[in-house]
Structure 1
Amino acid sequence: MIEKLPDECLLEIFNNLQEGSLFSCLLVNRHCCIINVPLLWKTAGNYLSKRSLIETCLLSLNTEEQALIPSQVILPNHPKPSFEYTNFITSISDRLNVGIVDWFNYYNRTVDYGVNVLRNAIRCSLITMSLRTSKNLIYLKTNGAIYEQIIKDLSRNNTIMIFELHNSNLNSKGTTILQDAIIQNTALTYLNLYNFTESTEDLCNSVADALCGKALGNALCKNVALTYLNLSENSIGSKGGKALAKAFYKNTTLNHLDIYYNYLGPEGGLALGKALNGNTTLISLDFDGNDIGTKAEMYLQKFSV
């Protein structure tokens, strides 16, 4: 009977089943399996802390992505999966770090030198693969050092709406690449750059240029989709605050800004305060821990965290 139902009906039925039942449906026949695999892998990002899932993802690496991982790492040599599972992943979080540690410790327990570097290479390789294969990736969060190529790949992605980049230690060149990614990725609405860079002044100039469209002309302001920006704990200082202030005179899309603990000081705080005083779109601002002084606070007192 199930084979006589159209795919649309089957999809509607499977969408209303619990996860355990979906796994059972994989065994009914190949047709049901084809319909169920995308449904199950859509939420696979929630289980990236599992060693078995990391193993499956590693089997999907192409030659270039495998080359990113040093030869000391023993990669799985099983046959390629029957399905391109990673095509269907919609989110990748820093649970990936946990899964990689578990997988690495289980299969590469004899390695005792440069372990963190090797794990980071695996993480970057898997993220690169996901950006290449996933057709519906909406959320990407990375925690740790990251390759510049991943930022370049992000600029070519048109599905990611939420990008969180934590503790990545990007250098000046990396922040310039990030600027291009912010400008070119028109789907991006939520950007979290918490404690992420070595070059704080470059960070602010890059983000500021992207927000106000300076790199491509002021007309680009209308095309910037960002509504949430977190630059907290980047120590951007007074110069960084002034660079951001220039952006906010022109940006008309951002409505949430977190910039706490950045050592803006009175000058940076005042510049930012004047720029935001006439802003009609920003509704939430967190600027704690910046010692901006009473004059700057007067300009910013209308905002609530």
Structure 2
Amino acid sequence: MSERVRVGVLAGGPSAEHEVSLQSARAVLDALPRDVYEPVAVIIDRRGRWPVELRRDLVDVVFPVLHGPFGEDGVVQGHLEALGLPYVGCGVLASAVGMDKVAMRRMFLAEDIPLTPHVWFTEYEWRATTDHWGLVKSLDWPMYVKPANMGSSIGISRVTSMQELRTGVELALAYDRVVVVEQGVSARELICGVLGGYDVPEVSVPGELIVPGAWLDYEAKYLSRAEIATIPAVLPERVAEEVRELALRAFRAIGGYGLARVDFLYEQDTGRLYVLEINTMPGFTSRSVYARAWAASGVPYPDLLGRLIDLAFARSGS
């Protein structure tokens, strides 16, 4: 290993979240302390072509700041495992489960983690019937239609009628062959960060997403300059503790390692909490709610990056 740790910051890729990944990578590259780390930018193009093949003589550790299919779903993690390179974040199985909204929900249900009512179906099942209401009849309006494997709110629609449902499903099918439809609830949207290994991971203070319209879409997350979160969230202590406990349970349910952001819905009138999803490689942009939650918990951004890199080495035994 060189005097400075060579960190390969892996970004881009062929998924629809290519631009988001580049934003995250710029933030990581800018924030890595140069007295400790030597950043090496590795940008995969939209066709999936790598500028260089990663090897131990080029980098000491990889920070895969990749979002969505190909980068966050276990594919790149498996490649790095085969190369014998330490890398930041969840391993192959946890990444794959965290990316797939159907597999994720099965894991959560097995661990009695509270979820909103939902259904899922394949493109074949959708095309094979004219009774589309029959596929979602256990739910009420509004509903949220999502591709099973995608992030950053890409391909998601809020629907309130059969015509909107059909349009939303067609949009989701443009990104994946499996569609998840969730029951909409009137709730506050909360987040909580997890950081650590397999033993006793830490959880951040909860934050609350500021939803400017009916829901927080891609434009509001990445294109608008409006504030998107209150951190820490203003919550009763009991609710804040339940959020933290559920975040840890969700992380353990998928076998998480390194980091994750867990998203929640909080029905204030009933006091119910639902786990919406777990994100194994949340955004690392300057506006990232994951990084901000940890800053509010006493871990500033450069220290957060350092801890994640240390965890990568610890898992590999380096």
Q: Same fold (TM over 0.5)?
A: no
Question: Could you say which structure has the higher strand fraction?
Answer: 2
TM-score, L = length of structure 1: 0.27
TM-score, L = length of structure 2: 0.26
Larger relative contact order (Cα-Cα within 8 Å, sequence gap ≥ 6): 2
Work out which of the two has the higher radius of gyration on C-alpha atoms and give 1 or 2.
1
